[in-house]
């Protein structure tokens, strides 16, 4: 039996159904135990202890009847009526909003004809199962992905990128259930590498992450992935996406790499792919800040500034290595916490002129982005640190010891993105990025 906060009842019931135990016993308390004083926790437990006793001794019934928070419909086709075509489109959009199937922006109707055309963008059969997406265990057929791609405004040629992105987020190491359902603002950052980026006109330069017409492909591919997470994975806000505040970067976050201006091998070549291979990388990230520096040309000064971006005590991944590694218990996966750095061409060229490659930058970031043990432990559970690193408990006696904010230099992923002027972007990551080869 499980303690559940009232604000999470709908999430808990839906999760219990999804995970195959719809009648799991729950004791409810008014607030989460987190951020409560010991006295506050104890008074909530005292008030709810009878529910615990009942849960341990009486066969549980199906959870209390609550509004599911979204609508499930299994019919393959849906019909709408309006006084003209535009009105009918609005009727569909209003209905999808009511069912919670929308990301909030107007959706393009996924008519059979449009979905058919969308599926022509891939050689895969419409009923091919690409994967099953958590948390709802939705079966991601090519047709369902295509329907969401149409709604997002994609073109058929975007399908191979989108399908590969869906494959990426279903990799066990991503632990999608964690990122989709969390109270944190996990956004799937998509990086496209290889010839397909140019073929699809995926923006890598000015305003690559949008908005704007020049980032059309970026915008709709990123949007489609979010819609797939919602309507195929059942990651519905307020039900199975418990993001406390939300984030605008969850709508869409996609770019290509600026290989034209980059002095280095591309991101996917660093991973061993050939330049002619096309790949998709997905990294769930929490948020972003600038890597701004107009002042300096010396690599040492540039990287010193960049390192300050990684030193943010209230970012969940900062120092997380001290309490272990993110893991999906079903697959025994382990993820180191990575950050994603989009270095702008101006800065990349300065580094290159001074003989710095990406590995040197990673090593310097690792060396310079350090904080004291006591700062890193501010938001961490001491008992988790004790379990993860029994050999490091001496740090309690030396709280001013400087430690790296991530586990190793490889935890800084680097790609060159953007246009002229010394402004890059730093993304605080959740776990590690996953890269896959795009197949037609």
Partner 1 sequence: MVKLEVVNPQAITQVVSVPLAPRLSEITGKRIGLYWNMKAGGDVALEHTARLLEERFPKTEFKHFVGSVGASMRHATAEDAELVAKDCDAVVGTTAD
Name residues contacting partner 1, limited to 333-392 (CB under 8 A). 334, 380-381, 383-384, 387-388
Q: Which stretch binds partner 1 (CB under 8 A): 2-10, 153-161, 255-263, 353-361?
A: 2-10
For the segment 84-143, give every residue that binds partner 1 (CB under 8 A).
84-85, 87-89, 91-92, 101, 109-112, 115, 132-133, 136-141, 143
Tokens of 21: 């135990």
> Quick one: which H or E segment has residue 274?
none
Residue 5 engages partner 1 in binding (rule: CB under 8 A): yes
Between 267 and 385, CB nearer to partner 1: 385
Single residue of 124, 158, 223, 320 touching partner 1 by CB under 8 A? 320
Start-to-end CA distance of the chain, whole Å, equals 47
Distance CA 283, CA 222 (A): 12
Instruction: Give min distance, CB of 133 to partner 1, in A.
Output: 7
DSSP state letters, 305-331:
HHHHHH--TTSTTTTGGGG--B--TTT
Q: Please list every residue from 10 through 39 that binds partner 1, using CB under 8 A.
A: 12, 18-21, 23-24, 29, 32-36, 38
Comparing CB distances to partner 1, the nearer of 236 and 264 is 236
Q: In whole angstroms, what is the distance from residue 394 CA to residue 389 CA?
A: 10
Which helix (H) or strand (E) covers residue 287, if one does? strand 279-292
Query: What's the distance, CA 174 to chain centroid?
Result: 9
- DSSP class of residue 348 equals H
Size of the site for partner 1 (CB under 8 A): 100
Q: Which of residues 215-244 bind partner 1 (CB under 8 A)?
A: 227, 231-234, 242
Question: Residue 31 has what DSSP assignment?
Answer: S
Please name the residue that has the structure tokens 């944190």. 184
Place of tokens 């797939």: 228
Q: Residue 408, interface with partner 1 (CB under 8 A)?
A: no
Choose between 268 and 326: whose C-beta lies nearer to partner 1. 326
Give min distance, CB of 265 to partner 1, in A.
32
| Burial (CB count <10 Å: 0-12, 13-18, 19+), residue 113 | exposed
Q: Least CB distance from residue 101 to partner 1, whole Å?
A: 6
Instruction: Pick the closer one to partner 1 by CB: 127 or 354.
Output: 127
Smallest gap, in angstroms, from Cβ of residue 258 to partner 1? 33
Tokens in use for 368?
């310079």
Q: Are strands 412-416 and 339-343 parallel, antiparallel or unpaired?
A: parallel
Q: Does 401 help bind partner 1 (rule: CB under 8 A)?
A: no
User: How many whole angstroms separate alpha carbon 57 and alpha carbon 203?
Assistant: 60
Q: Residues 57 to 86: which contact partner 1 by CB under 8 A?
A: 57-60, 72-85
Of the candidate residues 186, 283, 326, 338, the single one contacting partner 1 (CB under 8 A): 326
């Amino acid at each position: 039996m499980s303690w559940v906060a009232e604000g999470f009842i709908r999430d808990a019931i839906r999760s219990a159904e999804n995970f195959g135990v719809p009648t799991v016993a729950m004791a409810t308390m008014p607030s989460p135990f987190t951020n409560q004083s010991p006295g506050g926790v104890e008074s909530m437990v005292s008030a709810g202890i009878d529910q615990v006793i009942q849960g341990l001794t009486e066969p549980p019934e199906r959870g209390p009847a609550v509004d599911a928070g979204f609508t499930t419909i299994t019919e393959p086709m849906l019909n709408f009526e309006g006084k003209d075509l535009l009105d009918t489109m609005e009727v569909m959009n209003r209905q999808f909003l009511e069912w919670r199937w929308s990301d909030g922006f107007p959706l393009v109707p996924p008519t059979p004809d449009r979905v058919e055309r969308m599926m022509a963008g891939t050689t895969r059969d419409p009923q091919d199962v690409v994967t099953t997406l958590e948390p709802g265990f939705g079966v991601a057929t090519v047709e369902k992905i295509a329907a969401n791609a149409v709604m997002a405004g994609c073109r058929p040629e975007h399908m191979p990128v989108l399908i590969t992105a869906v494959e990426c987020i279903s990799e066990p190491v991503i632990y999608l259930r964690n990122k989709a359902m969390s109270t944190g603002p996990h956004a799937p950052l998509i990086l496209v590498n290889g010839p397909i980026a140019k073929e699809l006109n995926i923006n890598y330069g000015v305003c690559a992450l949008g908005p704007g017409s020049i980032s059309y492909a970026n915008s709709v591919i990123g949007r489609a992935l979010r819609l797939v997470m919602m309507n195929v994975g059942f990651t519905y806000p307020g039900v199975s996406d418990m993001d406390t505040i939300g984030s605008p970067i969850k709508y869409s976050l996609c770019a290509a790499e600026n290989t034209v201006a980059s002095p280095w091998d591309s991101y996917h070549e660093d991973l061993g792919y050939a330049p002619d291979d096309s790949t998709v990388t997905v990294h769930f990230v929490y948020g972003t800040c600038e890597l701004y520096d107009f002042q300096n040309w010396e690599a040492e000064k540039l990287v010193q500034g960049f390192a300050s971006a990684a030193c943010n005590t209230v970012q969940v991944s900062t120092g997380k290595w001290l309490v272990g590694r993110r893991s999906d218990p079903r697959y025994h996966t382990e993820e180191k916490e990575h950050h994603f750095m989009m270095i702008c061409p101006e800065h990349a060229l300065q580094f290159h002129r001074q003989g710095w490659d990406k590995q040197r930058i990673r090593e310097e970031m690792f060396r310079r982005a350090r904080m004291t043990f006591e700062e890193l432990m501010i938001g961490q559970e001491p008992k988790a640190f004790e379990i993860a690193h029994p050999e490091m408990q001496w740090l309690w006696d030396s709280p001013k010891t400087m430690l790296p904010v991530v586990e190793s230099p490889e935890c800084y992923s680097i790609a060159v993105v953007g246009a002229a002027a010394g402004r890059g972007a730093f993304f605080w990551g959740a776990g590690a990025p996953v890269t896959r080869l795009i197949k037609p």
